[in-house]
């Protein structure tokens, strides 16, 4: 009788185990997979900017075990660089990677989410977006376009750009034709120059042929890759116009809503990882690239005169005040950034800035 009972219990447990396994196997058989397209405003696999979406795609595929795969297309492969926003909004692609200030013709307030002249640096921009209410405002701004934005990388403080004339005073800005988008472009126009917006892939030829007299792009790491030292003489700093240029990943809202919760979380986490990774890459690469530009290619590194920076800051404040007055939402965005900047500057005066001064004491 004891053996009969043991065998009966064994059979019962075996049967229960089989029943437990069946739903799991069945769920795996019907598990849905998703294939997304991601369009960028950058050349395919361009250092930093172009490799960021590639990294995002690899992370998503690994974390989802292939349930969500993302194919990346560079500028011009499916649509021109400046049509990425519309393509993702309309669902031609599920995702895009670029910079918000490219869309100012559609949304005036978008410029706040790339860079504000003399505004937040990369560390502060990340803090404002993720813990200061900035991301919520950004998503409110993009909601009418069926888009959900995520921070998609930051270049850190950029360079002021490449010039084929010296800038010794504001008089040297007059008549200058410069590729510079966003609020910085409006400032150059008000200073008597002409601002032009064009994709990065067009800049070398435009400088070489004299279509433009100057261009800002990013910083030494990217500028060396584009070979600007071959078509411009002077390399100016600091990047007053883009002190912490934020890149963006935008997702079609319908495509995002179709994902199960775990894949939504994977998209969010991968975006946060890439956002930090881009800044890490620029922090690591920029100085060596600058050394190469100066020592190997004879680039003349110049600082913009203080009087020029002071006037550019005055004009920037003027433009920002007008932009804030566009509508109720831009007012809220502007006020949020100003408050965050004031608080960050107050603390950084005794933390970041004080530390920088301290480590230069014996230099």
pLDDT of res. 42:
95
Token readout for 133 is: 């209410």
pLDDT of res. 137:
98
Characterize the bridge pairing of strands 161-163 and 214-215.
Answer: antiparallel
Nearest CA among 113, 189, 117, 123 for reference residue 151? 113
Q: 121-138 burial string, b = 16+ CB within 10 Å, else e?
A: bbebbbbbbeebbbbebb
Whole-angstrom distance, CA of residue 114 vs CA of residue 242:
8
Query: Which is the CATH superfamily of the domain at 161-243+287-325?
Result: Periplasmic binding protein-like II (3.40.190.10)
pLDDT tens digit string along 75-110? 999 999 999 999 999 999 999 999 999 999 999 999
* Residue whose tokens read 């002021």: 160
Burial status of residue 283 (CB atoms within 10 A of its CB: 0-12, 13-18, 19 or more) = middle
Alpha helices in the chain (DSSP H): 2-29, 51-63, 84-89, 122-131, 134-142, 182-190, 203-209, 220-226, 253-257, 261-291, 306-324, 328-348, 352-359
Whole-angstrom distance, CA of residue 190 vs CA of residue 174:
9
Nearest CA among 240, 363, 245, 235 for reference residue 290? 235
pLDDT of res. 16:
46
Average pLDDT by stretches of 10, the chain with 363 residues: 45 46 43 96 94 98 98 97 97 98 94 97 98 98 98 97 97 97 96 94 96 97 96 97 97 98 98 98 97 97 98 97 96 98 97 96 84
Is the overall model pTM greater than 0.85, yes or no?
Answer: yes
Q: What is the Cα 116 distance to its own chain's centre?
A: 13
Characterize the bridge pairing of strands 147-154 and 161-163.
Answer: unpaired
pLDDT of res. 8:
46
181 contact partners, CB below 8 Å, separation of at least 6: 99, 101, 102, 104, 195, 197
pLDDT of res. 362:
85
pLDDT of res. 363:
78
Characterize the bridge pairing of strands 194-196 and 147-154.
Answer: unpaired
- Fold match flag (33-155+244-283 vs 161-243+287-325): yes
**What are the residue boundaries of the structural domains of the chain, listed by start?**
33-155+244-283, 161-243+287-325
Domain 33-155+244-283: give its CATH architecture: 3-Layer(aba) Sandwich (3.40)
Neighbours of 229 (CB within 10 A): 20
Residue 9's φ and ψ, nearest 5 degrees, are -65, -40
């Amino acid at each position: 009788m004891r053996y009969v009972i043991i065998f009966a219990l064994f059979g019962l447990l075996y049967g229960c185990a089989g029943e437990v396994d069946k739903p799991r196997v069945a769920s795996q058989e019907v598990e849905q997979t998703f294939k997304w397209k991601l369009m960028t405003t950058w050349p395919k696999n361009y250092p930093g900017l172009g490799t960021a979406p590639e990294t995002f795609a690899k992370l998503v595929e690994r974390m989802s075990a292939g349930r969500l795969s993302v194919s990346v297309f560079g500028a011009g492969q499916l649509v021109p660089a400046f049509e990425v926003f519309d393509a993702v909004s309309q669902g031609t692609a599920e995702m895009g990677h670029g910079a918000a200030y490219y869309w100012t013709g559609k949304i005036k307030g978008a410029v706040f989410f790339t860079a504000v002249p003399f505004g937040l640096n990369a560390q502060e921009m990340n803090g404002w977006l993720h813990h200061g209410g900035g991301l919520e405002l950004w998503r409110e701004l993009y909601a009418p376009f069926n888009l959900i934005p995520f921070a998609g990388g930051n270049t850190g403080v950029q360079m002021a750009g490449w010039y084929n004339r010296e800038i010794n005073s504001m008089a040297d800005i007059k008549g200058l034709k410069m590729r510079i988008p966003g609020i910085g472009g409006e400032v150059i126009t008000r200073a008597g120059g002409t601002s032009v917006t064009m994709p990065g892939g067009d800049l070398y030829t435009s400088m070489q042929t004299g279509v433009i007299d100057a261009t800002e792009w990013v910083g030494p790491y990217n500028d060396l890759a584009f070979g600007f030292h071959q078509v411009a003489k002077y390399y100016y700093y600091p990047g007053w116009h883009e002190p912490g240029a934020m890149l963006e990943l935008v997702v079609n809202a319908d495509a995002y809503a179709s994902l199960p919760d775990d894949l939504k979380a994977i998209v969010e986490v991968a975006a946060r990882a890439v956002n930090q990774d881009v800044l890490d890459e620029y922090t690591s690469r920029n100085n060596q690239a600058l050394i190469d530009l100066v020592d190997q290619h004879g680039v003349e590194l110049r600082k913009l005169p203080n009087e020029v920076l002071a006037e550019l800051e005055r004009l920037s404040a003027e433009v920002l005040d007008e932009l804030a007055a566009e509508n109720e939402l831009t007012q809220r965005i502007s006020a949020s950034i100003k408050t965050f900047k004031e608080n960050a500057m107050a603390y950084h005066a005794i933390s970041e800035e004080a530390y920088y001064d301290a480590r230069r004491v014996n230099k």
